[in-house]
């Protein structure tokens, strides 16, 4: 790997000394940027994902316009089930929609996990193109959904507040649930391995719906599959796990070889440090809704967050994805406050 001009993010992930914490935000490519909205009105969602030139352009927007310390490739967690043969649509003002969700064994049997890499070739092209555009300035993050979070969408067929139907399915048919989780895990391992080969510097797993499970069911349906993915990937690549609402598993996650753990805003820095015993770096946890507050408040709250987490082993970020319609100026205030923190 060529030396990066700005390696703050990689240094923070390794727990090395930094002059200030690095900063990026989850879902930074899109949603709130006016230039993104122009492309969004012109091309449908999967066209944007599947056209490497467009994905590269969108990935670079927040880098050029806001100045984050890391880029995240523009794509979606649902490209993996799509490559397994599930028809996934992204409906405007609704979100993901799957006409024929997974219901039984034969639906699971039909899923193809052998050709996932081939069918997501456009992602690897976008990674290579984005690496060129970045020109060794900052690191590039590749990502995937956790097997549990992917299962939630492909069994429910859409988003949901609590995924109760999905939980019901899993508790009634645990063998089927595990069969499905195993298939998603295998597909995700080959997908992320290819992302690493294509040039991403870091990978992050999103367990956005881990928090709908009880702490004990989490150990059955989510944690083991995430661990399997972490174990299977190239040891030299830093890995980040973001599991929303899963503070119960912070200690477990700090012991499986990840470099950092994402923290949501419900958990204090002090609690997160205590539970992870300084074994890993922490990433988070500004409440995305707070980016709608006044600039003065954003500044005060950001400084408070920085003081609570401390400068070392820390990556400034939000506690979940940035919200649509967040004022760009406020994002800039958040970023410049971190950059001025020595």
Cα gap 165→217, rounded to integer Å: 15
Closest CB to ligand CP3 among residues 94, 274: 94
Interface with ligand CP3 by CB under 6 A: which residues?
Answer: 27-31, 40, 45, 72, 74-78, 90, 95-96, 143, 159, 206, 208, 321
Closest CB to ligand CP3 among residues 60, 232: 60
What does the angle CA 299 – CA 260 – CA 72 come to, to the nearest 5 degrees?
Answer: 70
Cα gap 205→241, rounded to integer Å: 5
Closest CB to ligand CP3 among residues 91, 255: 91
Closest CB to ligand CP3 among residues 28, 50: 28
| Count of other CB atoms within 10 angstroms of residue 312 | 14
Using alpha carbons, select from 151, 264, 265, 158 the residue that is nearest to residue 213.
Answer: 151
Closest CB to ligand CP3 among residues 257, 321: 321
The token duo for 91 is 């409906």
Nearest approach, Cβ of 181 to ligand CP3 (angstroms)? 17
Closest CB to ligand CP3 among residues 99, 296: 99
Nearest approach, Cβ of 24 to ligand CP3 (angstroms)? 9
Nearest approach, Cβ of 232 to ligand CP3 (angstroms)? 21
Nearest approach, Cβ of 2 to ligand CP3 (angstroms)? 24
Nearest approach, Cβ of 220 to ligand CP3 (angstroms)? 21
What does the angle CA 271 – CA 274 – CA 280 come to, to the nearest 5 degrees?
Answer: 110
Q: Dihedral of CA 90/230/59/286: which sign?
A: positive
Residue 147 has φ and ψ, to the nearest 5°, of: -55, -40
Nearest approach, Cβ of 242 to ligand CP3 (angstroms)? 8
8 CB-near residues (< 8 Å, 6+ apart): 18, 19, 20, 21, 22, 69
Place of tokens 């507050």: 293
What element of type H or E holds 250? helix 250-253
Nearest approach, Cβ of 294 to ligand CP3 (angstroms)? 25
Nearest approach, Cβ of 326 to ligand CP3 (angstroms)? 12
Cα gap 153→180, rounded to integer Å: 12
Nearest approach, Cβ of 111 to ligand CP3 (angstroms)? 19
Closest CB to ligand CP3 among residues 225, 313: 225
Residue 316 pairs in a beta bridge with 23, 284
The answer to whether the CB of 207 falls within 8 A of the CB of 244 is yes
The answer to whether the CB of 90 falls within 8 A of the CB of 153 is no
Using alpha carbons, select from 85, 91, 106, 79 the residue that is nearest to residue 44.
Answer: 91
The answer to whether the CB of 270 falls within 8 A of the CB of 262 is no
Quickly list DSSP for 130-187.
Answer: HHHHHTTSS-EEEEEE-HHHHHHHHHHSB--SS-HHHHHHHHH-HHHHHHHHHHHHHH
Closest CB to ligand CP3 among residues 13, 29: 29
Closest CB to ligand CP3 among residues 92, 118: 92
The answer to whether the CB of 254 falls within 8 A of the CB of 275 is yes
């Amino acid at each position: 790997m060529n030396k990066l001009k700005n390696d703050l993010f990689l240094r923070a992930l390794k727990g090395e000394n930094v002059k200030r914490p690095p900063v990026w935000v989850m879902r930074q490519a899109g949603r709130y940027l006016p230039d993104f909205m122009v492309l969004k009105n012109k091309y449908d969602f999967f066209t944007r994902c599947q056209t490497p030139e467009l994905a590269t352009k969108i990935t670079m927007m927040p880098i050029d316009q806001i100045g984050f310390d890391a880029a995240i490739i523009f794509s979606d967690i649902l490209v993996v089930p799509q490559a397994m043969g599930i028809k996934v649509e992204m409906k405007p003002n609704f979100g993901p929609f799957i006409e024929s969700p997974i219901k039984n064994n034969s639906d699971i049997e039909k899923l193809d996990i052998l050709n996932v890499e081939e069918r997501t070739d456009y992602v690897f092209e976008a990674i290579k193109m984005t690496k060129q555009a970045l020109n060794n300035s900052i690191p590039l993050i590749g990502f995937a959904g956790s097997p549990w979070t992917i299962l939630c969408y492909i069994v429910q067929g859409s988003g949901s507040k609590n995924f109760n139907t999905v939980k019901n399915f899993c508790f009634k048919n645990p063998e089927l649930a595990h069969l499905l989780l195993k298939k998603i895990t295998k597909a995700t391992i080959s997908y992320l391995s290819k992302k690493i080969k294509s040039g991403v510097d870091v990978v992050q797993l999103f367990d956005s719906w881990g928090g709908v499970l009880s702490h004990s069911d989490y150990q059955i349906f989510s944690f083991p599959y995430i661990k399997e993915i972490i174990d299977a990937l190239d040891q030299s690549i830093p890995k980040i796990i973001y599991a929303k609402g899963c503070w119960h598993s912070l200690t477990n996650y700090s012991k499986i070889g990840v470099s950092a753990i994402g923290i949501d805003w419900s958990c204090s820095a002090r609690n997160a440090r205590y539970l992870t015993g300084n074994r890993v770096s922490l990433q988070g946890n500004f409440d995305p809704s707070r980016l709608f507050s006044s600039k003065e408040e954003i500044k005060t709250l950001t400084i408070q967050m920085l003081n609570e987490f401390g400068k070392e082993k820390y990556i400034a970020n939000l506690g979940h994805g940035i919200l649509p319609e967040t004022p760009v100026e406020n994002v800039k205030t958040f970023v410049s406050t971190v950059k001025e923190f020595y």
